[in-house]
């Protein structure tokens, strides 16, 4: 989705363009701007996998609460898009030297947009940056630390990706593990120096 400001410039809040029902859109403007059959439901399914979402996207009789939820929906679509790209780009950069991959260059679709609707663009129709652009900037930095959780093996791997031409001799990567939910556990805030004086891949 575009930023909420760009959507506001292309829609009419009073006409019901700013409403979303969790099970079905009931919003002709959102349906009109969705060009993928069942796209909204697929998008909501992805958001539900990664974020805590409300049980419904509107509050009957409370316009202010419904508007807040609608804006949160827009933000979550953008956060999901950025997470999707971050996952793909970090994987491809990490695999660039593997013989089965050799992904020495990655382009992404798409940079800008032709209207204020659903799209993969990094800039919305109004020229405003979406979170995707910040994610792209981080993922294409010359030096990137990547943390990957492997659910099957129940472990975390940390990768250091460098596009530097020269060897990286003075690198130091310190990982701090923290528990975000629940009470503190003995594993909380453990620090380990994983890499010092690494060589270029």
Q: What is the pLDDT along the chain (201 residues), one digit of tens a residue?
A: 888 888 888 887 776 676 665 444 456 667 777 777 887 788 888 899 888 888 887 788 888 888 888 889 889 999 999 999 999 988 888 887 777 877 777 888 888 888 888 888 899 999 999 999 999 999 989 888 888 888 898 888 888 888 877 777 777 777 777 766 655 544 444 444 444 444 333
* Claim to verify: residue 159 and residue 125 sit in the same structural domain: no
* Claim to verify: residue 95 and residue 162 sit in the same structural domain: no
* Claim to verify: residue 99 and residue 158 sit in the same structural domain: no
* Claim to verify: residue 101 and residue 177 sit in the same structural domain: no
Task: List Cβ neighbours of 98 (8 Å cut-off, separation of 6 or more).
Answer: none
Model pLDDT, residue 83: 93
Q: Which of 140, 169, 185 is the last residue of a domain?
A: 140
* Claim to verify: residue 115 and residue 163 sit in the same structural domain: no
Cα separation, 124 vs 114, whole angstroms: 8
Are 65 and 71 in contact by the 8 Å Cβ rule? The answer is: no
Q: Which of 121, 140, 159 is the last residue of a domain?
A: 140
* Claim to verify: residue 133 and residue 161 sit in the same structural domain: no
Name the residue with tokens 């979303």. Answer: 20
Q: Which of 94, 111, 140 is the last residue of a domain?
A: 140
Burial track 101-133 (b if 16+ CB lie within 10 A, e otherwise): eeeeeeeeeeeebeebbbbebbbbbeeeebbbb
What CATH number is associated with residue 40? 3.20.20.80
* Claim to verify: residue 9 and residue 88 sit in the same structural domain: yes
Q: Which domain holds residue 182?
A: 142-201
* Claim to verify: residue 50 and residue 103 sit in the same structural domain: yes
* Claim to verify: residue 16 and residue 75 sit in the same structural domain: yes
* Claim to verify: residue 136 and residue 154 sit in the same structural domain: no
* Claim to verify: residue 82 and residue 106 sit in the same structural domain: yes
- Measured from the Cβ of residue 41, the count of other Cβ atoms closer than 10 Å reads 13
Q: How far is CA 94 from CA 57, 152, 163, in A?
A: 38, 19, 11
Q: Using DSSP, state whether 176 is helix, strand or coil.
A: strand
Cα separation, 201 vs 185, whole angstroms: 36
Are 43 and 77 in contact by the 8 Å Cβ rule? The answer is: yes
Give how many domains the chain has, as a whole number: 2
82, HSE (Cβ side, Cα atoms, 13 Å): 20
* Claim to verify: residue 117 and residue 18 sit in the same structural domain: yes
Sign of CA dihedral 80, 82, 85, 91: negative
Cα separation, 52 vs 64, whole angstroms: 20
């Amino acid at each position: 989705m575009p930023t909420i400001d760009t959507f506001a410039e292309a829609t009419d809040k009073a006409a019901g363009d700013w409403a979303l029902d969790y099970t079905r859109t009931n919003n002709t403007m959102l349906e009109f701007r969705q060009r993928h059959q069942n796209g909204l439901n697929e998008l909501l399914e992805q958001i539900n996998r990664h974020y805590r979402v409300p049980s419904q996207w509107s509050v009957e009789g409370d316009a202010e609460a419904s508007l807040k939820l609608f804006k949160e929906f827009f933000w979550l679509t953008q956060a999901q898009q950025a997470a999707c790209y971050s996952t793909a780009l970090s994987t491809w950069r990490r695999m660039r030297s593997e013989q089965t991959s050799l992904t020495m260059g990655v382009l992404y679709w798409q940079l800008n947009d032709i209207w204020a609707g659903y799209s993969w663009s990094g800039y919305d129709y109004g020229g405003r940056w979406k979170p995707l652009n910040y994610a792209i900037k981080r993922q294409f930095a010359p030096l990137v630390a990547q943390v990957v959780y492997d659910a099957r093996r129940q472990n975390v791997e940390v990768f250091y990706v460098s596009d530097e031409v020269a060897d990286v001799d003075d690198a130091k990567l310190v990982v701090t593990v923290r528990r975000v939910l629940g009470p503190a556990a003995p594993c909380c805030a453990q620090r380990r120096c994983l890499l010092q004086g690494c060589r270029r891949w």
